[in-house]
């Protein structure tokens, strides 16, 4: 069975009624047959049939053992950190999602958990950073926003050899692009807000574990701390996942066309897209990814925030907004938006210059999207020539 068939037929038909769409079980509790005797459901924080369909679906899609649905991507990340104890250390990718950085720094540091950030595009940097206290390796690949790629298989080997857990934040790729557990990761997390839901209409997080033992621990944390996903939002994510492979294929095809177009523009300096042969980590991307995804970043030859601001404010189809992975294209200026809280020097070091622009390529026609950028580039080029 191929992937789309596996998804569509992995979502069970409702046993009670034959409903082909998953019913939304909007209930807080379940009537018991006798005290403590029930049909597997006692209270909706612990278990909900709609949420369970989503949890089983993501576990199967990520080729893992157990799935868990949380109220947000950050709640999912938070649940993983709660596997650790006072004094434990995390080695994390240096371009980590800003919200994860904030959680690690401002919440968990005071509980005695220390995080060491390294450039994980070279797996040796991870190996060298491991200490006896290291309990978790945390990577994102591709990273945000410069799309650096880390070799999941190589890092998983290092993690195993040192008995350290490897967690991959698979948000930017989605399981239609890569399956970290198949490469040896122990845990995968998602901001399902992005590609999995896919329509920019909710906030959700998912966790998948590779073993029953880890699954039981996450289940305990999920129930004990309570940041569960509501039935309706679970239903929307299921609905989103039904078209995930189709959407990601299309996002990726259009993104490659746009990235190629960007490379040919006079005003563009660097284009970051793992599907371009010029991309630093193209070979690893090709090895571990089925598609190259829908996110592209680029910066301008003239390093000017005002010009970049004009650019992102004047596109028609690319809407100016944070977030990514939806059917409608988005454009953002990380230095003023998603990455504003990162100190300037650190930002510049990781390639987030003042003119770096991030695109989340949607499902509009490629030609319309390219024309949208062409028009705004022409306006900008005129402004530059007037200035000169």
List residues with catalytic annotation: 45, 97, 169, 194
Q: Taking CB positions, which residue lies at the least distance from ligand PLP?
A: 73
Distances (CA, A) of 142 to 103, 105, 110, 326: 20, 22, 29, 17
Query: Segment contacting ligand PLP (CB under 6 A): 5-13, 159-167, 169-177, 208-216?
Result: 169-177
Query: Segment contacting ligand PLP (CB under 6 A): 85-93, 189-197, 230-238, 354-362?
Result: 189-197
Distances (CA, A) of 225 to 49, 112, 161, 218: 19, 19, 32, 10
C-beta of residue 193 within 8 angstroms of C-beta of residue 77: no
Query: Segment contacting ligand PLP (CB under 6 A): 166-174, 275-283, 295-303, 306-314?
Result: 166-174
The CB-of-276 to ligand PLP minimum distance in angstroms stands at 21
Query: Rule CB under 6 A: is residue 193 a binding residue for ligand PLP?
Result: yes
The CB-of-143 to ligand PLP minimum distance in angstroms stands at 8
Query: Rule CB under 6 A: is residue 233 a binding residue for ligand PLP?
Result: no
Query: Rule CB under 6 A: is residue 140 a binding residue for ligand PLP?
Result: yes
Q: Considering only CA atoms, which of 292, 352, 285, 361 is closest in space to residue 95?
A: 352
- The only residue of 175, 205, 231, 326 in contact with ligand PLP, by rule CB under 6 A: 205
Distances (CA, A) of 116 to 50, 88, 90, 188: 38, 11, 6, 20
Bridge partners for 34 per DSSP: 37
Report residue 136 as tokens.
Answer: 């978790």
- The only residue of 22, 141, 144, 209 in contact with ligand PLP, by rule CB under 6 A: 144
Report residue 241 as tokens.
Answer: 């996942």
Query: Rule CB under 6 A: is residue 150 a binding residue for ligand PLP?
Result: no
- DSSP letters spanning 15-81: TTT--SSPP----SB---SBTTB-SS-SBTTT--HHHHHHHHHHHHHTT-SEEEEESSHHHHHHHHH
Restricting to residues 97-126, which ones interact with ligand PLP according to CB under 6 A? 97, 99
Query: Rule CB under 6 A: is residue 200 a binding residue for ligand PLP?
Result: no
* Cα–Cα distance measured from residue 211 to residue 349, given in angstroms and rounded to the nearest whole number: 38
Report residue 186 as tokens.
Answer: 């122990």
- The only residue of 62, 78, 169, 186 in contact with ligand PLP, by rule CB under 6 A: 169
Q: At what angle do helices 366-387 and 305-313 cross, to 10 degrees?
A: 140
What per-residue string of b and e applies to 322-343 under the rule 16 or more CB within 10 Å gives b?
eebbbbebbbbbbbeebbeebe
Binding residue count for ligand PLP, defined by CB under 6 A: 15
Contact pattern for ligand PLP over residues 63 through 102, marking x by CB under 6 A: ---------xxx----------------------x-x---
Bridge partners for 208 per DSSP: 67, 188
Query: Rule CB under 6 A: is residue 191 a binding residue for ligand PLP?
Result: yes
List of E strands, 94-180: 114-118, 134-140, 165-169
The CB-of-72 to ligand PLP minimum distance in angstroms stands at 3
> 72 or 146: whose CB is closer to ligand PLP?
72
> 49 or 329: whose CB is closer to ligand PLP?
329
Restricting to residues 2-21, which ones interact with ligand PLP according to CB under 6 A? none
The binding site for ligand PLP (CB under 6 A) comprises: 72-74, 97, 99, 140, 144, 169, 171-172, 191, 193-194, 203, 205
């Amino acid at each position: 069975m191929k992937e789309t068939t596996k998804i569509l037929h992995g979502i069970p038909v409702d046993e009670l009624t034959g409903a082909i769409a998953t019913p939304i079980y909007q209930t807080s509790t379940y009537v018991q047959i006798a005290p403590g005797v029930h049909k597997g459901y006692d209270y909706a924080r612990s278990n909900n049939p709609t949420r369970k369909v989503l949890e089983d679906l993501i576990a199967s899609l990520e080729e893992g053992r157990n799935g868990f649905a949380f109220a947000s991507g950050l709640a999912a990340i938070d649940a993983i950190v709660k596997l650790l104890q006072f004094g434990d250390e995390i080695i994390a990718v240096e371009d980590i999602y800003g919200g994860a950085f904030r959680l690690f720094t401002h919440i968990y540091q005071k509980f005695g958990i220390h995080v060491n950030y390294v450039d994980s595009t070279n797996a040796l940097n991870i190996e060298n950073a491991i200490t006896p206290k290291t309990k978790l390796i945390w990577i994102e690949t591709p990273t945000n926003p410069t799309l650096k790629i880390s070799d999941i298989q190589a890092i998983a080997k290092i993690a195993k050899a040192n008995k350290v857990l490897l967690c991959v934040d698979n948000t930017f790729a989605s399981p239609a692009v890569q399956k970290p557990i198949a490469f040896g990761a122990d845990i995968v997390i998602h901001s399902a807000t992005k590609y999995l839901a896919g329509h920019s209409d909710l906030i959700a997080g998912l966790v998948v574990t590779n073993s029953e033992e880890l699954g039981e621990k996450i289940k305990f944390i999920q129930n004990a701390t309570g940041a569960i996903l509501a039935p309706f939002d679970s239903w929307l994510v299921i609905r989103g996942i039904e078209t995930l492979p189709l959407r990601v294929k299309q996002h990726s095809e259009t993104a490659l066309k746009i990235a190629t177009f960007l490379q040919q523009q006079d005003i563009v300096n660097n284009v970051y897209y793992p599907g371009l042969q010029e991309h630093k980590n193209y070979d690893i991307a090709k090895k571990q990814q089925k598609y190259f995804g829908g996110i592209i970043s680029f910066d301008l030859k003239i390093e000017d925030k005002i010009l970049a601001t004009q650019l992102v404010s004047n596109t028609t189809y690319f809407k100016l907004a944070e977030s990514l992975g939806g059917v409608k294209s988005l454009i953002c200026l990380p230095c003023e938006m998603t990455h504003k809280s990162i100190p300037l020097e650190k930002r510049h070091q990781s390639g987030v210059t003042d003119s770096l622009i991030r695109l989340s390529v949607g499902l509009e026609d490629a030609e319309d999207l390219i024309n949208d950028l062409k028009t705004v580039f022409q306006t900008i080029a005129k402004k530059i020539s007037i200035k000169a």
